[in-house]
Structure 1
Amino acid sequence: MHVVVPFSADRPKTRLSAVLSAAERREFSNAMLADVLDALAGVDAAFDTTVLATGPVEVDATVAVDDRPLTTAVNDRLDSTPTAVVMADLALASADALADLLDSTADLSIAAGLGGGTNAFLARDPAFRVDYHGASYRDHLAIAEDAGLSVREVDSRLLAVDIDEPEDLAEVLLHGDGAARDWLVDAGFELDIGGGRVEALRE
């Protein structure tokens, strides 16, 4: 099995620009990537991991630099070998949640993001191809159905939460326990609970 972790090394997390500078977004993205790689390392299964990055990045894993659009870059990695794709911004991902996905024997095991994107999947049949745009989860289910593939939908909040918007940072502070949470705390973020909302605000 091969696990691919796409990572934007050049312009990461632009939707966090309201609360983080470009340099901070790079640091925070690296911390989330480290958390995802740590979670994968805790899975009791044999697989190779490749960080599919748009530019050079220093991590304890094989790095393949590919600056093509995500759909093209990922599809070129899908072949006869069972291949999983796990996004690099799943700061809450745990080894158990990932193991549940990777242990599946379905042709396609897939986990949705809260916004309708595709946060992680394992394809055991090369007939599956990706098409990342907008709410890609439904599109990927349709692609699998058209190809006659068996599908297992993985219902996991830990895999559903991807960190894209400023309001997502509260999830990391509330439920995270890794490098991403540590980075936010060191950067001066703390939870603000009031007005019926929980937010991550900077001191």
Structure 2
Amino acid sequence: MRLLVPFAPDQPKTRLSPVLTPEERADFARVMCEDVLAAVRAVGHEPELLSTKPLDIDAPVTVDDRPLTDAVNAVLAATSEPVAVVMADLALATPGSLDRLLTMEGDVVLAPGRGGGTNAFVARHPEFRVDYHGASYLDHREAATAVGADVSVVDSHRLATDVDEPADLVEVLVHDDGRCRHWLREHGFRIERGNGRVNVTRVDG
């Protein structure tokens, strides 16, 4: 199985700009990516980074600066073996959650994200292609059906949680026990409880 982790080092995580500087966003995005790579290796697979630019990182790197849909479809079209794609911002991903994804039966296995996206998938059907615009999870179910592929779905909070916005940092501080949580705490982020909700705040020092 060929396992890809897409990553865009240029201006990463712009929706975190209210709470992180550009340099911090780049650093935090890389920490998340490296944690995903480590989790993939822990289940016995060698990840390959699909990057929009050359990158010095401990993994093979394929550079493709096209939009994500085009870059992933190029790999699907050129690869005869099964292909898995796991997004680089799944800060809560663990070896256990990835093992469920990679071992689940099905021509196409989807791990939906919150809000209708697709955070990871396994494609064993040679004609399956992706489209990451809009509600891609629904689109990918339809795309699989259109080529006669059966679909399995991984119901996983850890794989459903991608970190895009400040509110998502709550999930990292609550559920992660690795480098991402440590990075946030080193940079002053703390859980704030009040009004029946859990929020994240940043403290000086």
> What range is the shorter-chain TM-score in?
over 0.9
C-alpha RMSD of matched pairs (Å): 0.9
Q: Report if aligned partners of 2:113, 2:161 keep a CA contact under 8 Å in 1.
A: yes
Q: How many angstroms apart in 2 are the aligned matches of 1:33 and 1:179?
A: 11
Q: How many angstroms apart in 2 are the aligned matches of 1:19 and 1:156?
A: 27
Structure 1 ranges of 4+ moved more than 3 A: none
The answer to whether residue 177 in structure 2 is matched with residue 167 in structure 1 is: no
Q: Report the counterpart of residue 66 of structure 1 in structure 2.
A: 64
Q: How many angstroms apart in 2 are the aligned matches of 1:127 and 1:77?
A: 12
Identity, in percent, stands at: 54
The answer to whether residue 118 in structure 2 is matched with residue 118 in structure 1 is: yes
Q: What's the CA shift string for 1:81-124, capped at 9, x where partnerless?
A: 10000000000001011011101231001100011100000001
Matches within 5 A, 1:25-104: 25-43=25-43, 45=44, 47-78=45-76, 79-104=79-104
Q: How many angstroms apart in 1 are the aligned matches of 2:16 and 2:111?
A: 23
Q: Report if aligned partners of 1:54, 1:67 keep a CA contact under 8 Å in 2.
A: yes
Q: Report if aligned partners of 2:41, 2:47 keep a CA contact under 8 Å in 1.
A: no
Q: TM-score under structure 2 normalisation?
A: 0.95
Q: Report the counterpart of residue 5 of structure 1 in structure 2.
A: 5
Q: What residue identity is the alignment partner of 2:14?
A: T
Q: How many angstroms apart in 2 are the aligned matches of 1:29 and 1:188?
A: 17
Q: Report if aligned partners of 1:92, 1:176 keep a CA contact under 8 Å in 2.
A: yes
Question: Which blocks of at least 5 consecutive residues in structure 1 are unaligned?
Answer: none
Question: Which blocks of at least 5 consecutive residues in structure 2 are unaligned?
Answer: none
Q: Report if aligned partners of 2:109, 2:153 keep a CA contact under 8 Å in 1.
A: yes
